[in-house]
Amino acid sequence: MDTERRAFDVMSPDCPSRSIMQRMGDKWTPLVFLALESGPRRFSQLRQDIGGVTPKVLTQTLRSLERDGLLTRTIYPEVPPRVEYELTELGATLLGPLEIIREWSQDHAEKILRARNDYDELNEV
Amino acid sequence: MDTERRAFDVMSPDCPSRSIMQRMGDKWTPLVFLALESGPRRFSQLRQDIGGVTPKVLTQTLRSLERDGLLTRTIYPEVPPRVEYELTELGATLLGPLEIIREWSQDHAEKILRARNDYDELNEV
DNA sequence: TAATATGGTTACCTAATGGATACTGAACGG
DNA sequence: CCGTTCAGTATCCATTAGGTAACCATATTA
């Protein structure tokens, strides 16, 4: 129904879709998604799945994704506490696009690293 | 042929593909790509196509993409100077994935903005 | 009493990034 | 001699990202 007019346009400086597009390229968001791909995970499981993330930053990332309705945070009133994170339906629709980006990155990493070396050799002599 | 072993794995903290994945989500890179989709463009054309980018930042972005072999920078020795940017073959392979991200962002922007509002109302009262 | 485990939060700090603004160089037009 | 065009640089400042380390609440175990 909305084929004629685009409500959002990423090329427009003030369009909110632009900030959304940016966020999905932030440092940890894609990795959180890939880790949640196969089902709900606990906080410390995510920490292990994603190498090198500090708890603070992981918390920030998760909160921000929760705020955007991309995942849910469920607290189970047990001791010790258990908190599970799970993609929402909306969040799951992002898995496809992210998987494509991931494959591209992995498939072309070698070429890019070579290009960087060539460039640096030419311009740093 | 490389179905068995992955040379690069974005889930590994030290893998270079990770930095590559991150870069394609930076603020201006996707917009540069979309602007170059239909052919070479000059510096000031890009500035206009992409709203709100300062020359310094645009230069940084373009240089970084050139370094990675994703676009070429051609200087024509004229006066006033003319510099054209054009996607390389490698760069062009990124257009598909980026287009998918763009569509996702535009299609789901409204839902996400609504989720943000709901979240903020619940947690800021 | 205290250590342990979980799932965080908070305060604090630094380095890098982003952005605004003004300026340069080189040739041409007037 | 001055202004204009193009493609950037230079300079400065504010914001942010990310990291470290300490802390909290709770119940169990010893």
Query: What is the architecture of the domain spanning A16-123?
Result: Orthogonal Bundle (1.10)
Tokens of B13: 């903290």
Q: Which residues in chain A show pLDDT less than 50?
A: 1-4
- Identity of the residue in A22, A96, A116 whose CB atom sits nearest the CB atom of B67: A116
Residues in contact with strand D, defined as Cβ under 7 Å from any of its atoms: A 26-28, 52-57, 79-81; B 42-45, 55-56, 59, 62, 73, 79-83
How does pLDDT run across B60-104, given as a tens digit for each residue? 999 999 999 999 999 999 989 999 999 999 999 999 998 998 899
Closest residue to D18 measured CA to C1′: A57
Instruction: Supply the Cα-derived Rg of chain B in whole angstroms.
Output: 18
Residues A25 and B14: their CA atoms lie apart, in Å, by: 18
Residues 6+ apart with CB under 8 A from B84: B40, B41, B42, B73, B74, B76
Residue B86's nearest CA partner among B45, B25, B26 is B45
**Which residue ranges make up each domain of chain B?**
16-124
Q: Which pLDDT does position A46 carry in this prediction?
A: 93
pLDDT computed for residue A4 by the predictor: 43
Q: Identify the band that residue B125 occupies on the pLDDT scale cut at 50, 70 and 90.
A: low
How many Å does it take to go from CA B40 to C1' C17? 28
HSE of B66 in the Cβ direction (CA atoms, 13 Å)?
16
* Pick among 1.10.10.10, 3.30.70.20, 3.50.50.60, 3.30.750.24: CATH of B16-124: 1.10.10.10
Tokens describing residue A28:
């940890």
* Residue B79: both structure tokens together: 């006066």
CB < 7 Å to strand C — which of 18-57 in chain B? 26-28, 52-57
- One-letter amino acid identity for B82? R
Tokens read off for B36: 């170059």
Give the per-residue pLDDT at A13: 67
Smallest CA-to-CA distance from A21 within A94, A107, A71 is with: A94
